[in-house]
A and B are shown apart, each in its own frame.
Chain A
Amino acid sequence: MAISDVATFAHLSDSDVEALGREFDEIRRDIEEARGAKDAAYIRRLIYIQRRLMVAGRLTLFASMYPPAWVAGTGMLAIGKILENMEIGHNVMHGQFDWMNDPEIHSGTWEWDTTCPASQWKHSHNFLHHTFTNVVGKDNDVGYGILRVTRDQKWHPANLGQPVYNALLALLFEWGVALHDLDIERIRKREKDPQELKRQLKEIWRKVRKQVGKDYVIFPLLSGPAFATTLTANATANLIRNLWSYMIIFCGHFPDGAEKFTEEELEDETKAEWYLRQLLGSANFEGSRLLHILAGSLGYQIEHHLFPDLPCNRYPEIAERVKALCEKYDLPYTTGPLYRQYGQVFRTIMKLTLPTKADPNEMQPLNESQPLRGAKRPSRDELRAYGGPLPPQAAVA
């Protein structure tokens, strides 16, 4: 059941919520003050490792007709792409390293190694998802417009196909992300401005052409006799990256314990309540340092949602402080091993394939005059109240 008032849900008084908000602000200030050479060195080193991996992977694949070279090259490429998309691209595009004042590692200029254009990602993810996190009808990341991941989304016969959609999304994740900002829901309801749609499609097409050209035309051709094996290696590396990022990203907000919210929650929401919503709506997972880096620090989803633009290498130390606050204020801190978190997600998706039985204790009847499923994306005026979408012409150059 989606939450309409975070404070009531968390059994906190208004003054407790404000006090908690101040504690989160303090964490932010401390980290902002502390960040420096160490953080810059972290991201630089990662970028260097990632680029070396890409070069080594590409070179190895010139010999991809030999199976060991195919395996090694594919592995290096897959890890290189995972690092680039997750720990580097995603975090740099959040502005986590903008303070370095380095145009080469800046949210305004970074373009990542996937088919999704950075500008569209920053709109659908940094702005819509991170601002309206888990608000059913406002945050398109709740089910990505094609999956029913919470009972708060009304069942539709089309949901019978969920197991198939889910599998396809996992395999083709990169392409799902590329189309995400088009907002399928709005297109279906014919609310999308055709000019805007055309502009976005053109932008995606330009990016897709380059990405596909590199992986499926240029490098296979350069490999000469190893054309076919380089092609399959590149496709496999992209596939591995797709499956991995799908799994990690689905563990952010869909495991048990990650709450959803109604649009009423957004009314007059304070900064402190916003923090609380981020905390309640996100789920972490546990693992080694290496796992966390490969996961783009999204195992610290809670910390990431509280402080999306603080450097990701600081999340482990932030997590200690957030956990302590959760204990102090008696708040849930959702986490678990990766396999369990994903297991819960998978179970939920399978379960919600079928209509949910009415359970008077759990399900409140939805307000039929304002069905949540397919709720309208906010108008410009509505968005102004919370912030709004990036005007297309102002998309960051």
Chain B
Amino acid sequence: MPSTTTTPTTPLTTLKERGRALTGTQKLATAALGASAAVVGATALEVKRRLLQGDVSLVPNADLVRSVAARMTTPLLPDDYLHMLNPLWSAREIRGKIVELIPETEDAATLVIKTGWGFATDYQPGQYIGIGVSIDGKWHWRSYSISSEPSEGRRQRSGGTITITVKAMPEGFMSAHLVRGLEPGTIVRLALPQGDFVLPDPPPPKILFWTGGSGITPVMSMLRTMHRRDTIPDVVHIHSAPNRGQAIFRDERLKLAEAHPTLRMVENFDDEDGILEVSRIEEICPDWRERQTWVCGPAPMLDAAEKHWQQAKLAKSLHIERFSAQLSEAAEGGHVTFAVSGKEVDLDGATTLLEAGEAEGIDMPFGCRMGICHSCIVPLKKGLVKDLRNGAEYQQNQSVQTCVTAAAGDCVLEI
């Protein structure tokens, strides 16, 4: 999937909430910090190994020990120390480790990510995750669909892996960095899977998938899931790519189609066949009206599909993953939404967000009003704001100083 403007994390989640993201096993292992201090010779590693083998005798009352451990590390969390032993042992900020980079085409690669504590791998096929990468000291976040299939039957323990597949976009510095700039072993940050572009369980009897370019990734997760369950219903999959060389997962898709007679794979190569117009769906898949349809790809393709299905009064059977491909260009002013207080206002490019919020009667935090004390910081959920002092731009998923920033396009503030 292309990089997106919707990012699923809030940067300033309180410690407590993060702490609750732990699963039972992880609680036990965290509690092991307390135990390890008391039990001479037992390193946290050893404790964790034994815990993973189901030996809980070491920690008679995990919650109690965990709370004692937090009392020992206050004002920090046990995780703040444990991730020094293993970067994945922290649920405060969920971490992942790049274990492998698999080139898919000349400009796309699959990132195999070992997930750390707090990451539940019982996601639904089709969902996306947020991935944060540190570039020149600063964490940058984007969202990508998960291309692997979820582990089933049990919550996957830490140490599980997920994959995302990224195509380097011509102007996307982040996607290019993910495809070419990462080394195995790099630690990334993760945000929990989300999104409702998902395959229901059980899947509907008749399905149409229509994907373009890297829009294949969420659908690949769906196909792999059905393949693993060995129950592929009547599926037609139309995939567009510029040419054979740039068609992601081509070998695997063809093999799947071979193995499952109920799966029909239709390929369109733009360089040879021209861009696949929505009007050709009729000839490729005459019974498209009877099918639940999932569409993922570039924006014009989504727009066309939406219109086509609406005209057929079949909007209900259409599922679309709409990623606004790139950040919009910085604008002067914009529509500002204060998400928590539910206020909205149109602003020019010179009014600070603080003044605007106050004018709306919102109890905005504030301090020096000159940009030095950082009392007024508020998380920016979506959009772009501009620092009036120096023109620096801040993207979503950061905290911004409202006293010196103005809207640079539509944006959403979490206050």
Chain A interface residues toward B at CB < 8 A: 25, 29, 32, 35-41, 48, 51-52, 55, 58-59, 94-95, 98-104, 106-109, 111-113, 122-123, 126-127, 130-131, 207, 210-211, 213-214, 218-219, 222, 271, 274, 307-309, 386-391, 393-397
The answer on a CB contact under 8 Å between B370 and A100 is: no
Q: Which residues of A contact B364 (CB under 8 A)?
A: 394
Contact: B71 with A107, CB < 8 Å?
Answer: no
Q: Are B137 and A38 in contact (CB under 8 A)?
A: yes
Interface flag for B310 (CB, 8 Å): no
| Residues of A with C-beta under 8 A to B134 | 40, 100, 102
B68 and chain A: residue at smallest CB distance:
A218
Are B372 and A131 closer than 8 Å at their CB atoms? yes
**A59-B37, A214-B74 are known contacts; what are 14 more A-B pairs with Cβ within 8 Å?**
A39-B137, A101-B140, A102-B134, A103-B13, A111-B76, A126-B373, A127-B373, A131-B367, A131-B370, A308-B373, A309-B372, A387-B375, A391-B363, A396-B375
Q: What's the least CB distance linking B162 to chain A, in Å?
A: 22
B residues near A271, Cβ cutoff 8 Å: 370
- Do B365 and A126 touch across chains, with their CB atoms under 8 A apart? no
Q: Are A397 and B12 in contact (CB under 8 A)?
A: yes
Known: A100-B139, A102-B139. A108 touches B74 (CB 8 A): no
Q: Provide the bound-state CA to CA distance between A48 and B85, in Å.
A: 11
Judge whether A36 and B137 touch: CB under 8 Å. Answer: yes
Which chain A residue lies CB-closest to B13?
A103
List, in ascending order, chain B residues with CB within 8 A of A58's CB. 37, 72
Q: Considering residues A58, A130, A307, which has the most beta carbons from chain B within 10 angstroms of its beta carbon?
A: A130
In the complex, identify which listed stretch (B225-233, B320-328, B344-352, B391-399) lies at the interface while the others stay far away.
B391-399
Q: Give CA–CA (A199, B367) in the complex, Å.
A: 19
Q: How many A-B residue pairs have CB under 8 A?
A: 153
CA distance A55 to B134 in the complex (A): 27
B74 pairs with A98, CB closer than 8 A: no
By the criterion CB–CB under 8 Å, are A37 and B137 in contact? Answer: yes
Bound Cα distance from A38 to B134, whole angstroms? 12
B353 to chain A, nearest CB (A): 14
Q: Which applies to chain B's interface (DSSP): helix, strand, loop or mixed? A: loop
B-side residues, CB < 8 A to A, are 11-15, 37-38, 68, 71-72, 74-76, 80-81, 84, 92-93, 134, 136-141, 363-370, 372-375, 377, 389-390, 392, 397-399, 401, 403
**Interface contact A214-B72, CB-CB below 8 Å:** yes
Q: How far is the CA of A41 from the CA of B74 in the complex (A)?
A: 24
Could you tell me if B372 and A386 are in contact, using CB atoms closer than 8 angstroms? no
Contact: B377 with A95, CB < 8 Å? yes
Asked, given contacts A51-B84, A101-B11, whether A390 binds B375 with beta carbons under 8 Å apart, the answer is yes
Of B12, B76, B367, B399, the residue contacting A387 (CB under 8 A) is B367
- The answer to whether B399 touches A98 (Cβ under 8 A) is yes
A122 and chain B: residue at smallest CB distance: B375
> B13, B71, B80: which contacts A210 (Cβ < 8 A)?
B71
- Asked if B138 and A100 make an inter-chain contact with CB atoms under 8 angstroms apart, the answer reads yes
Residues of A near B68 (CB, < 8 A) are 218
Cα distance, A36 to B139, chains bound together (Å): 11
Nearest Cβ on chain A to B177's Cβ, whole angstroms = 13
B397 with A95: CB separation less than 8 A: no
Which residues from B are CB-within-8-Å of A395? Answer: 365
Residues of chain B contacted by A111 (CB below 8 angstroms)? 15, 75-76
A112/B75 contact (C-beta < 8 A), A41-B137, A127-B368, A394-B363 known: yes
Inter-chain contact A104/B373, CB cutoff 8 Å:
no
| Complex: chain B residue closest to A113, CB-CB | B75
Report yes or no: B397 in contact with A101, Cβ–Cβ below 8 A: yes
Chain A CB within 10 Å — which of B137, B363, B364, B368 has the most? B137
Q: Are A37 and B74 in contact (CB under 8 A)?
A: no
Interface of chain A, main secondary structure: helix
**B403 — which chain A residues lie within 8 A by C-beta?**
387
Look across to chain B and name the residue whose beta carbon is closest to the beta carbon of A395. B365
Q: Say how far B136's CB is from chain A's closest CB, in angstroms.
A: 4
What are 9 residue pairs bridging A and B, where the CB atoms are less than 8 Å apart in the complex? A38-B137, A102-B93, A104-B80, A104-B93, A107-B377, A213-B71, A222-B72, A396-B365, A396-B377
Report whether A127 and B93 are in contact in the complex, using a CB–CB cutoff of 8 Å.
no
B374 in contact with A388 (CB, 8 Å) = no
> For A37, A109, A391, which residue has the most chain B Cβ atoms within 10 angstroms?
A109
Chain A residues near B136 (CB-CB < 8 A):
36-37
Q: How far is the CB of A388 from chain B (nearest CB, A)?
A: 6
What residues of chain B lie closer than 8 Å to A386, measured between beta carbons? 368-369
| B15 / chain A contacts, CB cutoff of 8 Å | 109, 111
Contact across chains for B72 and A388 when beta carbons are under 8 A apart: no
CB distance from A253 to the nearest CB of B (A): 17
CA distance A391 to B375 in the complex (A): 10
- Tell me whether A103 and B93 are in contact (CB under 8 A): yes
Report B-chain residues with C-beta under 8 Å of the C-beta of A214. Answer: 71-72, 74
Pairwise interchain contact A51-B80, C-beta atoms closer than 8 A = yes
Q: Is the CB of B12 within 8 A of A218?
A: no
- Return the chain B residue nearest A43 by Cβ: B137
Q: Are A130 and B373 in contact (CB under 8 A)?
A: yes
Residues of B contacting A35 in the complex (Cβ-Cβ under 8 angstroms): 137
Enumerate chain B residues within 8 angstroms of A38, measured Cβ to Cβ.
137
Partner of A309 from the list B141, B374, B397 (CB cut-off 8 Å) is B374
Residue of A nearest to B390 (CB): A29
Cα of A113 to Cα of B399 in the assembled complex, Å: 24
Report Cα–Cα, A254/B117, bound state, in Å.
49
C-alpha spacing A29/B71, complex, angstroms? 42
Measured CB to CB, the closest approach of chain A to B31, in angstroms, equals 14
Which residues of chain B come closer than 8 Å to A389, judged between CB atoms? 367
Given contacts A36-B137, A101-B397, A218-B72, contact A107 B80 (CB under 8 A): no
Q: Can you name the residue of chain A whose Cβ is closest to the Cβ of B140?
A: A101
Residues A388 and B367 in contact, CB atoms below 8 Å apart: yes
Q: Taking CB as reference atom, which chain B residue is nearest A306? A: B372
A271 CA to B404 CA in the complex, in Å? Answer: 13
